[in-house]
Amino acid sequence: GDARLDRLDRTETTCGYCAVGCRFELYSDDERVLGVRATDPDAAPANDFSTCVKGKFGYGFIERDDRLKTPLIREGDGFREASWDEALDVVAAELEGIRRDHGADAISCFASSKCTNEEDYLMEKFARTVLGTKNIDNCARLCHSSTVAALLETVGYGAMSNSIEDVANADCYLFSGTNTTESHPVLATKVKRNVRDGADLVVVDPRKVGIAEHADQYLRSKPGYDTAWMNGMARHIIERDLHDAAFVEEHVRDFDALKRKVEPFTSAEVERLTDIPAGELTAAAERIATADSVVFGWAMGLTQHSHGTNNVRAMANLALLTGNVGKPDAGLSPFRGHNNVQGGGGDMGTLPNVLPGYQDVTDPEVLDTFEEAWGVRPPEEIGLTVPETFEAIHDGDVRGLYVMGENPALSEPDIGHANKALEETDFLVVQDLFMTETAEHADVVLPAAAFAEKSGTFTNTERRVQRVGKALDPPGEARQDWEILQSLANRIDHDGRRWDYETPTEIFEELTDVTPIYAGMSHERIETEGGLQWPCPDADHPGTRFLYEDGFNFSDGMARFVPADMGEPGELPTETYPLTLTTGRVLYHFHTGTLTRRVEAITDHVPESFVEIHPETAGTLGIEGGDTVRVESERGHIDVRAKVTERPGKGVVFVPMHFADGAVNTLTGERYDPTSGIPEYKVASVRIERINRD
Ligand code: SF4
């Protein structure tokens, strides 16, 4: 096939799936992508020559017949095709009507962690200045909002402190709640290679995930009790005087408060709470405290709890205590999910409390700057989060919802409840590639472009801004998201202003003017310098491989220990629902599966949902592998196939999140972390029964 590939167009771009941000070339003819090949490794700092199965074979969704090709307007139970003019006029009139009758805050907008920075910047500007609503949020609320909250308090930036390069070269790792081999495969390859070359790996997780197979120590924890073991490690390190006293003294405030908070967490107490053997805990703590450099890696397994912010605080405390922040090959590594959740879901200000570059929406000076740049003053109040928006829809306070490239009908906890809210909105616009489970509820559906059909930038998990290249035109009349937003902005009156962006490059120039951490970047520099990592404050700045080398992001330059209270899971097992459900991902699929469930090369491998059950639990319930079982919580039930495996512990079951059939969020509950609003996806109480055997 290689000779054939050589005759095709080649477009350098960045993967549209996960936030590792692999770079590769798309080979295409006029109509479709035909292959993916490695690019020059100098232009691919995140991945060199590698890609995973999703990046390499996951592009089949682009050319699917069921792509949306024209705008659609609801008619009765179905939809009819409409012209862009008609559809945009309807959207503009309906949103203006809601604004007139109920105020701008009766509209909420969800930006997309899959879109480009340029598009999310415009979505945020559209919400705040065209509609004038304070309500803008995105699905980052559901994944790392607790990380962002905890890191802003402790070290100052809500992002990975280090780079993939540092992760590849650490002396030691503490990983928890990251199924790295399946969710961030190319990154996992680097960790495995380094471990093979002698680095130490400690994995703490209720499920023996793939990366745990490579660990020097695997500690099985109990879902929902993570703060306990992290506080226990901190206590042991302090007690044995193994902490980096000089670093703490010079760079971190509130050591005494930390010491007091962790005091009750003796290794015996931690064993009682988490089932982690005391000797294992202290050995792991000593391993971390004595290593030259430690990378602290985590993902949804730590964040998606009703006390997710405390979990991340506890992790940050460990990193600070051992002096592993602000130096090479060490640091805090929250592995981000979506391709552009760091940029479009955060840096671009698509959050209810911050403008682009994490600038406080309640700070009058910040608002002055934006008013000067935009000609319209953004609302100065903090808006509604995604879960708060759904509540407000129930209460009749939010009536219009604009969803760009997200699928809350599957991704929200307790989707029965979320779908009711989607039904209850007076007016719902969904902009996407497919008739997603969310779009089914819409009044107007607008057809958008896939990553291979747009240009702009994505920001990967290590804060690296990389170019996205356009290989194809969108199908039919579908358009790039920024073009759709611009057409709409020019139909809705906002102080008599018009948008007239001609290219994503123009949008990027504007956004770097108002986003200090991006100020020194340009599309041209990003292309020629292999991406740029923020902060990049001026045109001569090379970008930042790891943060906090010259102090932490506070006016006094000091980090803060923020002692973490131990929370219990919001739902504990009962007699009726005796098992603990936890949720997560598999290698072959991505998130709610809107893309990967449409790629045959992928569904061939994992076609349907399933539940993992420990052999002893399965034995007690009379369940064998392959049986169809019913998993039921207080909120609903799903019927899926049983896999009997020792990956989850006894009494714990696991269901992946990617499927509409057997959707796991039928079971999860609406319990939220009070600080960040993240839902507790990782713990729910369920029961299981066999319903048939083939
Ligand atoms: Fe794409 Fe992530 Fe796979 Fe790289 S590791 S190819 S970015 S899905």
Q: What is the CATH number of domain 579-692?
A: 2.40.40.20
Q: Is residue 46 within 6 Å of ligand 1 at its C-beta?
A: no
Q: Is residue 335 within 6 Å of ligand 1 at its C-beta?
A: no
Return the minimum-mean-pLDDT range out of 162-166, 180-184, 383-387, 505-509. Answer: 180-184
Q: Which residue in 346, 334, 273, 274 sits closest to 304, CA to CA?
A: 334
Measured in Å, residue 588 CA sits from the centre of ligand 1 at 11
Q: Is residue 188 within 6 Å of ligand 1 at its C-beta?
A: no
The answer to whether 83-139+341-533 and 579-692 have equal CATH topology is no
323 vs 663, residue with greater confidence:
323
Q: Is residue 18 within 6 Å of ligand 1 at its C-beta?
A: yes
Q: Which of 17, 39, 336, 338 to mutate to test the pocket of ligand 1 (most atoms within 8 A of CB)?
A: 17
Nearest CA to ligand 1 atom 6: 55
Q: Is residue 55 within 6 Å of ligand 1 at its C-beta?
A: yes
Q: Tokens at residue 108, please?
A: 């909420």
Is there a contact between 288 and 317 (Cβ–Cβ < 8 Å)?
no
Is there a contact between 563 and 260 (Cβ–Cβ < 8 Å)?
yes
343-360 tens-digit pLDDT? 999 999 999 999 999 999
Q: Which ligand 1 atom is at minimum distance from the Cα of 20? A: 7
Nearest CA to ligand 1 atom 2: 18
Q: Give me the helices (H) in 2-83, please.
A: 2-6, 53-57
pLDDT over 80 at 5, yes or no: no
Measured in Å, residue 263 CA sits from the centre of ligand 1 at 42
Q: Is residue 21 within 6 Å of ligand 1 at its C-beta?
A: yes
Query: Per-residue pLDDT averaged across 525-554, rounded?
Result: 96
AA letter at 221: S
Q: Which residue in 295, 300, 297 sits closest to 144, CA to CA?
A: 300
% of residues, the chain, pLDDT over 70: 99
pLDDT over 60 at 1, yes or no: no
pLDDT tier at 89, thresholds 50, 70, 90: very high
Measured in Å, residue 14 CA sits from the centre of ligand 1 at 9
366, containing H or E segment: helix 364-374
pLDDT over 90 at 646, yes or no: yes
pLDDT over 60 at 559, yes or no: yes
User: For 615, what's the count of Cα atoms within 13 Å in the CB-facing half-sphere?
Assistant: 2
Burial (CB < 10 A; 0-12, 13-18, 19+), residue 582, is: buried
Calpha distance 431→438 (Å, rounded): 10
Measured in Å, residue 326 CA sits from the centre of ligand 1 at 27
Question: What sign does the dihedral 56-341-514-555 (CA atoms) show?
Answer: negative
Looking only at Cα atoms, what is the longest distance across the chain?
71
328, containing H or E segment: none
Is there a contact between 444 and 429 (Cβ–Cβ < 8 Å)?
yes
pLDDT over 70 at 2, yes or no: no
Query: Per-residue pLDDT averaged across 572-595, rounded?
Result: 82
Compute how many other C-beta atoms are within 10 angstroms of the C-beta atom of residue 359: 18
- Which pLDDT value is given to residue 252? 98
Measured in Å, residue 18 CA sits from the centre of ligand 1 at 5
Query: Per-residue pLDDT averaged across 234-255, rounded?
Result: 98
pLDDT over 90 at 659, yes or no: no
Q: Tokens at residue 634, please?
A: 């207080």
Q: Tokens at residue 693, please?
A: 């055997």
Q: Is residue 449 within 6 Å of ligand 1 at its C-beta?
A: no
Q: Tokens at residue 560, please?
A: 């803060």
Measured in Å, residue 468 CA sits from the centre of ligand 1 at 14
Q: Is residue 22 within 6 Å of ligand 1 at its C-beta?
A: yes
Query: Per-residue pLDDT averaged across 546-565, rounded?
Result: 96
pLDDT tier at 465, thresholds 50, 70, 90: very high
The ipTM estimated for the assembled molecules is 0.99
Long-range contacts made by residues 520-523, C-beta under 8 angstroms, separation at least 24?
Answer: 521/465, 523/457, 523/467
What is the DSSP pairing of strand 610-613 with strand 652-656? Answer: antiparallel
What burial letters (b/e) apply to 144-176, b meaning 16+ CB within 10 Å? bbbbbbbbbbbbbbbbbbbbbebbbbbbbbbbb
Question: What single-letter DSSP state applies at residue 667?
Answer: T
User: For 3, what's the count of Cα atoms within 13 Å in the CB-facing half-sphere?
Assistant: 0
Which distant-in-sequence residues (6+ apart) come within 8 Å of 495 by Cβ?
375, 376
Q: Which ligand 1 atom is at minimum distance from the Cα of 53? A: 3
Q: Which residue in 546, 548, 151 sits closest to 315, CA to CA?
A: 151
Measured in Å, residue 39 CA sits from the centre of ligand 1 at 14
- Which pLDDT value is given to residue 48? 81
pTM of the model: 0.92
Q: Is residue 51 within 6 Å of ligand 1 at its C-beta?
A: yes
50-70 tens-digit pLDDT? 888 888 888 888 888 899 999
Calpha distance 460→447 (Å, rounded): 25
Decide: helix, strand or coil at residue 415. helix
**CATH H-level superfamily of 2-63:** ADC-like domains (2.20.25.90)
Measured in Å, residue 349 CA sits from the centre of ligand 1 at 25
Q: Which ligand 1 atom is at minimum distance from the Cα of 24? A: 6
- Which pLDDT value is given to residue 680? 86
Query: Per-residue pLDDT averaged across 150-155, rounded?
Result: 95
- Which pLDDT value is given to residue 389? 95
Q: Is residue 47 within 6 Å of ligand 1 at its C-beta?
A: yes
User: For 475, what's the count of Cα atoms within 13 Å in the CB-facing half-sphere?
Assistant: 18
What is the DSSP pairing of strand 628-633 with strand 636-644? Answer: antiparallel
Calpha distance 345→347 (Å, rounded): 7
Q: What is the mean pLDDT of the chain?
A: 92
Q: Is residue 26 within 6 Å of ligand 1 at its C-beta?
A: no
Q: Which of 23, 36, 51 to mutate to test the pocket of ligand 1 (most atoms within 8 A of CB)?
A: 51
Q: Which ligand 1 atom is at minimum distance from the Cα of 51? A: 6
Measured in Å, residue 187 CA sits from the centre of ligand 1 at 9
pLDDT over 60 at 75, yes or no: yes
Three-state secondary structure of 167-221: HHHCCEEEEECCCHHHHCHHHHHHHHHHHHCCCEEEEECCECCHHHHHCCEEECC
Measured in Å, residue 9 CA sits from the centre of ligand 1 at 22
Decide: helix, strand or coil at residue 63. helix
With tokens 């953004």, the residue in question is 378
Cα 427 to the center of its chain, rounded Å: 27
- Which pLDDT value is given to residue 595? 74
Q: Where are the domains of the chain?
A: 2-63, 83-139+341-533, 145-334, 579-692
Q: Which of 24, 53, 54 to mutate to test the pocket of ligand 1 (most atoms within 8 A of CB)?
A: 54
For the segment(s) 83-139+341-533, the CATH number from 3.40.50.740, 3.30.390.10, 3.40.50.150, 3.90.1150.10 is 3.40.50.740
pLDDT over 70 at 509, yes or no: yes
Q: Which residue in 686, 623, 630, 625 sits closest to 662, CA to CA?
A: 630
Is there a contact between 61 and 475 (Cβ–Cβ < 8 Å)?
no
pLDDT over 80 at 375, yes or no: yes
Return the minimum-mean-pLDDT range out of 45-49, 83-87, 192-196, 249-253. Answer: 45-49
Phi, psi (5° rounding) for residue 455?
Answer: -125, 160
Measured in Å, residue 131 CA sits from the centre of ligand 1 at 35
Question: What single-letter DSSP state applies at residue 397?
Answer: S
What burial letters (b/e) apply to 434-449, b meaning 16+ CB within 10 Å? bbbbbbebbbbbbbbb
Phi, psi (5° rounding) for residue 205?
Answer: -165, 145
389-442 tens-digit pLDDT? 999 999 999 999 999 998 888 877 778 888 888 999 999 999 999 999 999 999
91-139 tens-digit pLDDT? 999 999 999 999 999 999 999 999 999 999 999 999 999 999 999 999 8
- Which pLDDT value is given to residue 127? 98
Q: Which ligand 1 atom is at minimum distance from the Cα of 52? A: 3
Nearest CA to ligand 1 atom 3: 52
Q: Tokens at residue 639, please?
A: 């019927």
Q: Is residue 669 within 6 Å of ligand 1 at its C-beta?
A: no
What is the DSSP pairing of strand 456-459 with strand 464-468? Answer: antiparallel
Edge-first strand listing for the sheet containing 107-110:
78-81, 72-75, 444-447, 427-432, 400-404, 107-110, 136-137
pLDDT over 60 at 166, yes or no: yes
- Which pLDDT value is given to residue 4? 67
Is there a contact between 19 and 460 (Cβ–Cβ < 8 Å)?
yes
Nearest CA to ligand 1 atom 4: 22
Q: Is residue 185 within 6 Å of ligand 1 at its C-beta?
A: yes
Q: Tokens at residue 607, please?
A: 């076609």
What burial letters (b/e) apply to 245-267, b meaning 16+ CB within 10 Å? eebbeebbbbbeebbebbeebbb
Which distant-in-sequence residues (6+ apart) come within 8 Å of 496 by Cβ?
none
Calpha distance 4→267 (Å, rounded): 62
Measured in Å, residue 299 CA sits from the centre of ligand 1 at 16
Calpha distance 652→683 (Å, rounded): 9
pLDDT over 60 at 292, yes or no: yes
Kindly give the interhelix angle for 117-125 and 481-489, rounded to the nearest 10 degrees: 20
Assigned CATH class of 145-334: alpha beta
